[in-house]
Amino acid sequence: MVSIGQCREHGMTDQQVGTLVGTKRWRRVMLGVLDPGVPATGLHDAFDRARRRGAIVGSLAFPGSVVTGVPALVLHGVQGAPRRVLPEVTFPNGAPRTSEKPVRVRRERLRRWMLVDRIPCVPVELALAQAVPELDRGHAVALMDSARQRRLITEDGFRLARDLARGRRGAARTAPWWDASDPRAESPVESDARLAFVDAGYPPDAVQLEILDEHGRFLARPDLAWFLPDGRVVPVELDGHEAHSTPEALFGDRRRQNALVARGARMLRFTGRDVAADAVVPEVSRLLDAEGWAPRPWPSGEPLILPTPRST
């Protein structure tokens, strides 16, 4: 997408732009914002493309503005945003603006902002503080998890974001969600599954558990894991499509699963669709109940050694 101002900067006249729109070679997104129909590069997921379009359009519609909230998080590379991202911006001086454009204009004075792909954005700390009080729990926690896991925010920065959120509309309702965030989650699917297990009364004993053999060689790093009373482990993998769809990835998954099963693990695999369909918690909880599971939190960062069983 481009703004009418950018077209003028590159020598195009308003008449030329009007002709392109009139012949439907270009599409008018909103007043002052145009879509030349150039395919996006680097984003293979249609939802990601739609999120980025929603994140960018506000800055094009309001030159001199700074992108805020969820759109800013999307541009920073934070994962876990809703499928539909509504554009929003503010002006650094906090001056009020009125417009008929479908863009939210916050009235928030800024001390600092930064360029992300040449687009002015608020820092991740402020973007989280703006976004979390206005979201549902699943998206809010997923965004917090991703910002921390990708190290787009430091732990001090995360605490600052929590402080900056206080006093905003919705802050009291969402205050407990900050404690529900876990920087070890490597995808929004993992965040959703973890929250579902916690809500059902089966909090994982470990997240991103590193499992080694008796020689210290890497076997697997399941997304979630539980420990049974007899010492066996129940590793759960939540497979994303891209990361597990190639022949090489499938071979590696099968090899790791066989190595774990040979050592007594009760390995389970699910997809993002399983998580969305609420099919994961019932299956895992039935297994845990049948085995008499009780919470046994594993120290974060400590690997689990699974030796090869001795043959009898």
Q: Tell me what pLDDT residue 256 has.
A: 72
Token look-up 């503080």 returns 129
Q: Tell me what pLDDT residue 179 has.
A: 97
Q: Tell me what pLDDT residue 245 has.
A: 47
Q: Tell me what pLDDT residue 243 has.
A: 47
What CATH number does the domain located at 188-305 have?
A: 3.40.960
Q: Tell me what pLDDT residue 249 has.
A: 47
**Taking the domains of the chain in order of start, what are their residue ranges?**
39-180, 188-305
Yes or no: say if 72 and 106 are a contact pair by the CB < 8 Å rule: no
Q: Tell me what pLDDT residue 48 has.
A: 87
DSSP result, 197-254: HHHHT---SEES--EE-TTS-EEE--SEEEE-TTS-EEEEEEE-TGGG-SHHHHHHHH
Q: Tell me what pLDDT residue 276 has.
A: 92
By CB atoms closer than 10 A (0-12, 13-18, 19+), residue 214 is exposed
Strands 224-227 and 206-207: antiparallel
Give the residue from 217, 156, 151 showing the smallest Cα distance to 186.
Answer: 151
pTM over 0.95: no
Q: List the beta bridge partners of residue 199.
A: none
Q: Tell me what pLDDT residue 250 has.
A: 45
pLDDT along the chain (312 residues), means of 10: 90 90 89 82 74 92 94 97 94 81 90 94 98 97 98 97 96 97 95 97 96 91 95 90 47 69 88 94 97 95 86 53
Q: Tell me what pLDDT residue 312 has.
A: 47
Q: Tell me what pLDDT residue 246 has.
A: 46
Q: Please report the beta strands in the chain, taking only residues with DSSP state E, as ranges in sequence order.
A: 2-3, 27-30, 33-35, 66-67, 88-90, 104-106, 114-116, 119-121, 206-207, 211-212, 218-220, 224-227, 233-239, 268-271, 304-305
Q: Tell me what pLDDT residue 153 has.
A: 97
